């Protein structure tokens, strides 16, 4: 490809890239900075909570603010350092403490996780006292809700220990925790002792608008692409699609990066609307697979069954028609038994899975008002035309590829053996 597209690196579109300036989060960045600047008077900053849906800039806000404020404070003689932990990767309190202690130079080994968590907390305090006296240490726990999904009690203990570390440090160093989460009701899962110690201070980030996303994407594109290699309409298409998807900046950046990669593969010297359309199609499939990958087993099986119904009608030449949720439930139980899986899906959990799948725009639900004296029933159908993609992804993720795959192929070849 001739020179004319890239001037920077594609990594600048990635979620780990921290821009030199932050857009449309200036007020929130100022709030974080003012909270941390209490250190100029010798005070320990309060713990903070930052909430917001995925892609609202929570992580970028925290990292950018900490990079900026630590440099300013350093020039004023205040020692501040920060440690970032992604709880999706370090998803237990033991792993979190491992990462924190490693960052401050402690390589302690323990026989058990219980012993390790408390032991590493002790080593953490000792190391801060001896190697970083007078330091204000900010611990960022990103996606902290993951710890409470894994083990609420141990997660609660971790937050308690990080706060109480300040007692053991006896003023020789200080620890502040910034918790980042998409769950704005996370505090309801805290014990009363942790809730009272962490206070009620928090920031809530709202989704970006299409105009805000355009500004963010355009600024980044100007850093990565050569002038004249893209038009406003290309950036606007990425921004609008993301704004329609809950204002997700991460999704918008991923689409833009994917579009650039497609353009490079095609040998293009400019980025076009067509490149963005292809990227959106690919990202839609990737997001679909990601949603299915992280869903519980029973939810995957429910989705597979609904997708199968859609797929069966397509293969048999019938017009796609909705089915009663009761029939789907009975089929899920039948499939579970064929896979030697104890059919323990409760009616309540089933209804919750259906609600979550509808919220994710994977299915559509509506009441059947034709029920008459038989009572009100609910109909369900697949949203969109990705039946086979959903089925294949669900089969892979359930771990029962053979059973589900064999069932699908047998029924596709012999439509008379339909499940519903």
| Structural domain containing residue 164 | 26-204
Mean pLDDT of 248-267: 94
CA R_g for the chain: 26
**What is the CA angle 43-45-50, rounded to 5?**
170
Of 263, 292, 321, the last residue of a domain is 292
Domain termination residue (choose one: 156, 183, 204): 204
CA distance 108 to 130: 16
Residue 13 resides in a domain: no
Burial (0-12, 13-18, 19+ Cβ within 10 Å), 327: middle
User: Do 347 and 387 fall within a single domain?
Assistant: yes
Residue 111 or 376, more confident:
376
Question: Minimal CA–CA distance to 34: which of 212, 170, 201?
Answer: 201
The CATH code of the domain that includes 80 is 3.40.50.300
Q: Does residue 371 sit in the same domain as residue 330? A: yes
324 lies in some domain: yes
Q: Could you read off the pLDDT of 134-184 as tens digits, one per residue?
A: 999 999 999 999 899 888 999 999 999 999 999 999 999 999 999 999 988
Whether 162 and 90 map to the same domain: the answer is yes
Residue 16 lies in a domain: no
Counting the structural domains of the chain, the total is: 3
pLDDT tens digits, 77-135: 999 999 999 998 998 998 999 899 889 887 656 555 555 567 778 888 888 888 888 99
One-character DSSP codes across 109-171: --SSHHHHHHHHHHHHHHHHHHHSTT-EEEEEEETTHHHHHH-HHHHHHHHHHHHHHHHHHTT
How many Cβ atoms sit within 10 Å of the Cβ of residue 162?
25
Tell me: do 55 and 196 sit in the same domain.
Answer: yes
Please provide residue 261's backbone torsions phi and psi, each rounded to the nearest 5 degrees: -60, -40
Which range has the top average pLDDT, 175-189, 208-222, 273-287?
208-222
Q: Which CATH number does the domain housing residue 325 bear?
A: 1.10.10.10
Query: Same structural domain for residues 175 and 319?
Result: no
Q: Is the pLDDT of residue 229 over 60?
A: yes
Alpha-carbon gap, residue 1 to 31, rounded angstroms: 46
Residue 381 belongs to a domain: yes
- Give the bridge partners for 176, in sequence order: 138
The secondary structure element, H or E, covering residue 49 is strand 48-51
Is the residue at 7 inside a domain? no
Asked if residue 408 belongs to a domain, the reply is yes
Domain identity same for 68 and 154 = yes
For residues 54 and 178, state if they share a domain.
yes
Determine, yes or no, domain membership for 128.
Answer: yes
347: left (phi over 0), alpha (psi -120 to 50) or beta: alpha
In eight-state DSSP terms, residue 207 is P
33 lies in the same domain as 161: yes
Looking at the fold, whether 183 and 280 belong to one and the same domain comes out as no
Residues 306 and 280 in one domain: no
Q: Report yes or no on 19 lying in a domain.
A: no
The answer on 72 and 199 residing in a single domain is yes
């Amino acid at each position: 490809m001739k020179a004319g597209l890239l001037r920077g690196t594609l990594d600048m579109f990635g979620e780990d890239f921290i821009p030199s300036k932050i857009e449309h989060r200036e007020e929130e960045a100022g709030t974080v900075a003012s909270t941390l600047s209490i250190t100029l008077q010798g005070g320990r900053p309060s713990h903070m909570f930052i909430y917001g849906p995925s892609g609202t800039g929570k992580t970028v806000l925290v990292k950018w603010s900490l990079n900026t404020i630590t440099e300013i404070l350093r020039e004023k003689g205040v020692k501040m350092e920060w440690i970032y932990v992604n709880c999706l990767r370090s998803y237990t309190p033991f792993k979190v403490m491992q990462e924190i202690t490693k960052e401050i130079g402690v390589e302690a080994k323990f026989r058990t996780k219980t012993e390790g968590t408390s032991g590493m907390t002790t080593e953490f305090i000792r190391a801060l006292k001896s190697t970083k006296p007078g330091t204000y240490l900010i611990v960022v726990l990103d996606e902290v809700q993951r710890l409470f999904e894994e083990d609420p009690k141990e997660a609660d203990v971790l937050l308690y220990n990080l706060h109480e570390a300040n007692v053991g440090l006896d003023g020789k160093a200080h620890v502040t925790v910034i918790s980042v989460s998409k769950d704005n009701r996370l505090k309801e899962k805290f014990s009363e002792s942790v809730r009272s110690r962490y206070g009620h201070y928090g920031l809530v980030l709202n989704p970006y608008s299409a105009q805000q996303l355009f500004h963010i994407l355009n600024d980044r594109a100007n850093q990565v692409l050569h002038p004249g290699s893209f038009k406003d309409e290309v950036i606007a298409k990425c921004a609008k699609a993301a704004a329609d998807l809950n204002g997700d900046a991460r999704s918008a950046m991923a689409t833009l990066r994917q579009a650039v990669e497609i353009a490079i593969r095609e040998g293009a010297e400019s980025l076009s609307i067509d490149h963005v359309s292809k990227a959106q199609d690919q990202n839609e499939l990737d997001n679909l697979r990601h949603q299915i990958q992280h869903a519980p087993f029973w939810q995957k099986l429910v989705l597979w069954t609904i997708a199968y119904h859609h797929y069966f009608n397509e293969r048999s030449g019938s017009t796609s028609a909705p089915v009663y949720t009761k029939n789907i439930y009975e089929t899920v139980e039948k499939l579970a038994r064929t896979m030697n899986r104890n059919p323990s899906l409760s009616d309540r959990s089933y209804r919750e899975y259906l609600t979550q799948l509808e919220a994710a725009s994977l299915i559509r639900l509506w009441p059947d008002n034709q029920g008459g004296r038989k009572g009100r029933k609910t109909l369900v159908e697949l949203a969109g035309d990705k039946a086979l993609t959903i089925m294949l992804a669900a089969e892979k993720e359930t771990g029962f590829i053979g059973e589900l795959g064999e069932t699908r192929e047998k029924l596709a070849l012999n439509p008379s053996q339909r499940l519903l």
